[in-house]
Amino acid sequence: MDDALRALEMEALAGDAQAYRSLGRALIRAGRFREAKSAFRKYMDSDPHFTPEEYKHFIQETASVGTIFQPLPDFATYTIAPTSRTCAAEVHRLRADDSAVYQPLAMVFDEKTKTYKPAKRMFTFEENIRARVEDYNTLTDEQGSPRTMRQRLALFGQWLSSCTGIYHKANSTKFKIDPMCRQLIGIQKGFNRGFLEIPYESADGTELDSSEDVYSRASGYMPLTSADQVVNHKGWRIAVQDKGLLKESAEIYFSLRESGMGFWVIENPDKDQLRTLVLYDLDNDSYAFAGWCLDYGAQSLRVAQK
């Protein structure tokens, strides 16, 4: 298997973008999901041509690594649904949304069949950032007319929920970021509390400590003042692992504002707790908010047919 993987990788590096897709499939079969996701990302970055049915198939094919669906083909578009009352309500409303025909998928445990099945999911925090940048960089509309700056910044003007989880450790400044949180994706219908009580030590994700960087907290908001500060910020780097994407997003933001893009965390909570990482809108400094209560409401992006 390793020889076959190396051969596919050499083909891809030689300029055969389709080989990245084949490499991704082979890596999934080998159980190497992180590497598979990277291969599929490189395939998508090559701007492959899809028909609508081929695109649907690709979304299904990559479900086990979280679905690689961006950048969107020209027949798909981002939409935003009205706000749901809770995070759980939005998760289950999204699954049933027939208009979200190209929505990213994740494998979710089905209690009835006792098996894992693909289900529509919210975007990750990074995918929300990518959607903003991609939409901002779309310079013309479907008729070929120039889009106004207001149109290009439309997604920057919306706060967005995500399936990226933030685990806060009780009585501590430590927290973990889980880019694609299975507990949030699989949250039970009807859940209506501020957070999930998940034991911190068993939680997935990358651990950080808010005492080791510039974070906003209950004692005060700490905005960042440049794209370089954002790119070098530990929290932002884990939440948006594509450094080039993070830098481009920050440069767009700071071309419009002098400061912002802070990273808000909870410190020393009474209990271990899991919340969702919310991306705030341009008017609220586009900061990353890790203190969002799951019963506050939720608003997420959809991928629909144009």
* Distance from chain centroid for Cα 178: 10
CA 12-50-279 angle, 5° bins = 85
How far is 303 from 100, CA to CA, in rounded Å? 5
The amino acid present at 47, given as its one-letter code, is D
3-class SS at 16?
A: coil
Per this entry, what is the length of the chain? 306
- Per-residue pLDDT reduced to its tens digit, 255-267: 999 999 999 999 9
pLDDT at 1: 59
Q: Are 125 and 104 in contact (CB under 8 A)?
A: no
pLDDT at 170: 98
pLDDT (average), residues 232-256: 97
- Per-residue pLDDT reduced to its tens digit, 282-304: 999 999 999 999 999 999 999 99
- Per-residue pLDDT reduced to its tens digit, 19-37: 899 999 999 999 999 999 9
The amino acid present at 304, given as its one-letter code, is A
Token reading at 298:
């939720």
pLDDT (average), residues 49-64: 96
- Per-residue pLDDT reduced to its tens digit, 34-54: 999 999 999 999 999 999 999
Handedness of CA 184, 190, 196, 198 (dihedral sign): negative
pLDDT (average), residues 132-160: 96
Q: Are 162 and 125 in contact (CB under 8 A)?
A: yes
CA distances from 162 to 39, 121, 128, 244 (A): 23, 9, 8, 20
Handedness of CA 165, 168, 173, 176 (dihedral sign): negative
3-class SS at 117?
A: strand
Token reading at 252:
């767009």
Helices (H) and strands (E) in the chain, counts: 11, 10
Dihedral in degrees, nearest 10, Cα atoms 252, 207, 162, 148: 0
| Distant-in-sequence, close-in-space partners of 226: CB < 8 Å, separation ≥ 6 | 250, 254
Domain assignments of the chain as residue spans, ordered by start:
70-306
pLDDT at 218: 85
pLDDT at 206: 98
| Distant-in-sequence, close-in-space partners of 231: CB < 8 Å, separation ≥ 6 | 237, 243, 246, 247, 250
| Distant-in-sequence, close-in-space partners of 143: CB < 8 Å, separation ≥ 6 | none
| Residue owning tokens 């889980």 | 178
3-class SS at 207?
A: strand
pLDDT (average), residues 104-118: 89
Q: Is the pLDDT of residue 8 over 80?
A: no
